[in-house]
Structure formats: structure tokens, C-alpha cells
Amino acid sequence: MMSQNIRSGKDRNQGKTDLNAWMVAGGHALAYRHYSRDYVGKEAAARDAGRGLWQGRFVAPWDWRRGER
């Protein structure tokens, strides 16, 4: 049940800080649209500002798993 709660976003808060939002906004994680669109705006802002992962080139994890390298 724990992983299901994490995927649904129910356990994403540590105190009052949304850790997922913080990571996506800083460019340290991607918004996984399969489960939620909550962080898409934060991802776009990080991309536009060139933060974190967006400083270079990378393959999204879901594309990597499909064999895109």
C-alpha cells in the first residue's frame, strides 16, 4: 500500500513542504504525468530557467525503460 500512496501523491508532504514539488521545481525530478499533472507547471518553469537536469541533455526515465538511449 505504501508505494500506491506515494504514486497517488498522498504521502508526498514532509511537514508543510511538498518534497516532490521542491524537487521538480529545482530540476531534480520530472513530473510523471502518468499518475498526476500536479507538477507540470513547475517542470516547465525549471526547464525554462535551465535548472538541474535541464542544464544538459538527458533521457526521461520512462523513455529509457522503453529502450531509448
Structurally, the chain folds into a number of domains equal to 1
β-strands 13-14, 17-18: how paired? Answer: antiparallel
The pTM assigned to this predicted structure is 0.74
**Higher per-residue confidence, 39 vs 69:** 39
**What is the mean predicted confidence (pLDDT) over 28-50?**
96
Summary mean pLDDT of the chain: 86
Burial class (CB within 10 angstroms; exposed 0-12, middle 13-18, buried 19+) of 46: buried
| Residue 63: band (very low, low, confident or very high) from pLDDT cuts 50, 70, 90 | very high
**What is the mean predicted confidence (pLDDT) over 47-55?**
98
**What is the mean predicted confidence (pLDDT) over 3-21?**
66
**2 has pLDDT over 50:** no
Which residue range forms the structural domain that includes residue 44?
A: 2-65
Rounded CA-CA distance 52/58 in Å is 11
CB-side exposure of 51: number of CA atoms within 13 Å?
Answer: 16
